[in-house]
Amino acid sequence: MKPKSQPKRQAKHHADREPLHLAAQSLVICLGPGGVGKTTISAALAVRAAMLGCAVDVMTVDPAPRLLDALGLAADSSEPVEAPLDGIRRSRRGGASNRARLRALRLDPKRTFDSIIARYAMSDAARDAILENRIYRNLSGALAGVADYMAMEKLLELAANPATDLLVLDTPPATEAIDFLDAPRRLLDLLNSRAVNLLGAPAGVFRSQLRVMDIAARAVLAAFDRVTGLNLLSDVQSFVRSFDGMYEGFSARAARAQDKLRAADTAIVIVTTAESSRIAQAREFIGALADAGLRVSAMVVNRVLADLPDASELASARIAPSLKKKLKRNLADYAALKTREEVSLSALRDSLPAGAVLMVAPDLGREPRTIADLAEIGRSIRAV
């Protein structure tokens, strides 16, 4: 029995140290609700992978100014910028590799969308027609789904670079996990919508092709336009028309993005914190991803309390009794928070999808300001 169980234990030990197998992944996508430190975790995982010897790109969305500094990014770095790795101890296993590098960039949804339009437009006139369209300007500026779709586009572009081993993707905050992953399909649906195409057609011309629903939709939209003063019909139609001929290119890329999400070397990571409302949200994410047939590799619970000190240390400590009392009280206070956290973690553990690891990232007690801070977080993310 003994010789048999030995390698197993070793393998498990290895998995605990590197449960995400970062060096074997080509894409890590961090999803999660807003305000949980998704960008920090993405950057920390990227630094960790670089320490393992990988050539890493990390794409962030809306990073805090200090994190921007830590990664050496300017406010408008929409192209990858190399982050200095000097002074970061490489892990022993990765030390031999000279591929290690870390590049960071910020997603600029509007600029990415514009460049895609420029790439696929049939003519300059068609391009300008789209860029000037009121619907497009709203779509590209304000619609959350467009930022998601553009992240997906940029992902394909970066993933195509053979000099990069791993791409870590931070995603826009979402209330629904599927918002991000589903974005390409939604946009394609709009562009390919027969009903939208026919909406603005002159009355009578395409009537025979319209279903009852389309006629109703058209009638109501027309009424809606009149009452609201929006005059949308013609804009929607010209928007969709201006994509004529571009659909194929979009559709092919969206299909490639969907394949990439399901590839064996893609890891989907849900980031959350231990607050009960976030845990509830994270569990909804798990359900939505499972429904979409997507495999979650890990849940990272960010900002968990560090291990508490031993109460017995206080008994023998040579300090004033009044201080001792206060320290006991302080320990009890944080122990209560730790209990709250444990309840959250076990709730998460119960809803963990098969094959996924539950991981925690301890609270540094300060904002990460340097690459070294990110490396510290990266190193301390561990399975629990």
Partner 1 sequence: MKLPRVLFVTGKGGTGKSTVAAAIALALSGRRPTTLADLDGRTSAAAALGATPRDSAAAKVTDSLDVIAMAPRTELEAFIERIVPIRAISRRMLRSRTFGYVTAALPGLEAFLLLERLRIMAGDAALEDRYLVIDAPASGSAVEMLSVSSGVKGLAPAGTLNRLADSIDIFLADPTRFGAIITTTPEHLAIGEALETAATLRDRLGIVTVAVIMNCLPELLFDTAELAAMSALDGHARLAIRRNAAHEQAALAAPRFAAAGLTTVGLPMMFTPAIGRAEIEQLRRALQAGLLD
Q: What is the C-alpha to C-alpha distance for residues 184 and 153, in angstroms, rounded to an integer?
A: 9
Smaller CB separation from partner 1, 10 or 346: 346
207 binds partner 1 (CB under 8 A): no
With CB under 8 A as the contact rule, the residue among 330, 349, 372, 384 that binds partner 1 is 330
Q: Which is nearer to partner 1, 259 or 313 (CB)?
A: 313
Of 5-13, 51-59, 291-299, 332-340, which segment contacts partner 1 by CB under 8 A? 332-340
Closest separation in Å from C-beta 147 to partner 1: 11
Site string for partner 1, 90-119 (x = CB under 8 A): ------------------------------
Alpha carbon 35 to its chain's center: 13
Q: Is 209 in the site for partner 1 (CB under 8 A)?
A: no
Q: Which is nearer to partner 1, 48 or 218 (CB)?
A: 218
Instruction: State which residue, 18 or 235, has the beta carbon closest to partner 1.
Output: 235
Asked if 244 interacts with partner 1 (CB under 8 A), we say no
Q: Which residue in the set 157, 259, 265, 313 belongs to the binding site for partner 1 (CB under 8 A)?
A: 313
Rounded-to-integer distance, Cα 109 and Cα 115, Å: 10
By CB under 8 A, residue 308 contacts partner 1 = yes
What is the Cα 235 distance to its own chain's centre? 32
Residue 190 touching partner 1 (CB under 8 A): yes
The stretch among 14-22, 73-81, 139-147, 160-168 that binds partner 1 (CB under 8 A) is 139-147
Stretch in the footprint of partner 1 (CB under 8 A) among 22-30, 84-92, 96-104, 303-311: 303-311
Segment lying near partner 1 (by CB under 8 A), choices 11-19, 51-59, 94-102, 304-312: 304-312
- The pattern of x and - marking residues 350 through 379 that bind partner 1 according to CB under 8 A reads ---------------x-x------------
Q: Which of 87, 162, 229, 355 binds partner 1 (CB under 8 A)?
A: 229
Q: Which one of residues 174, 232, 286, 296 is an interface residue with partner 1 (CB under 8 A)? A: 232
Using CB under 8 A as the binding rule, the residues of this chain from 146 to 185 that contact partner 1 are: 173, 175
Check binding of 131 to partner 1 (CB under 8 A).
Answer: no
Query: Nearest 5°: CA angle at 266, between 112 and 160?
Result: 45
Q: What is the C-alpha radius of gyration for the chain, rounded to an integer number of angstroms?
A: 25
- Nearest approach, Cβ of 326 to partner 1 (angstroms)? 5
Among the residue ranges 161-169, 252-260, 277-285, 371-379, the one whose residues contact partner 1 (CB under 8 A): 277-285
51: contact with partner 1 by CB under 8 A? no
Q: Is 63 in the site for partner 1 (CB under 8 A)?
A: no
Is residue 326 close enough to count as binding partner 1 by CB under 8 A? yes
Q: Return the HEC string of the chain.
A: CHHHHHHHHHHHHHHHHCCCCHHHCCEEEEECCCCCCHHHHHHHHHHHHHHCCCEEEEEECCCCHHHHHHCCCCCCCCCCEECCCCCCCCCCCCCCCCCCEEEEEECCHHHHHHHHHHHHCCCHHHHHHHHHCHHHHHHHHHCHHHHHHHHHHHHHHHHCCCCCCEEEEECCCCCCHHHHHHHHHHHHHHHCCHHHHHHCCCCCCCHHHCCHHHHHHHHHHHHHHHHHCCCHHHHHHHHHHHCCCCHHHHHHHHHHHHHHHHCCCEEEEEEEECCHHHHHHHHHHHHHHHHCCCCEEEEEEEEECCCCCCCHHHHHCCCCHHHHHHHHHHHHHHHHHHHHHHHHHHHHHHCCCCCCEEEEEECCCCCCCCHHHHHHHHHHCEEC
- Among the residue ranges 69-77, 148-156, 157-165, 325-333, the one whose residues contact partner 1 (CB under 8 A): 325-333
Which sign does the torsion angle of CA 44, 47, 53, 55 carry? Answer: positive
Tell which one of 275, 292, 351, 352 touches partner 1 (CB under 8 A).
275
Rounded distance between C-alpha atoms, residue 240 and residue 129, angstroms: 11
Q: Is 36 in the site for partner 1 (CB under 8 A)?
A: yes
Closest approach of Cβ 148 to partner 1, in Å? 12
- Give the strand pairing for 266-273 and 296-304: parallel
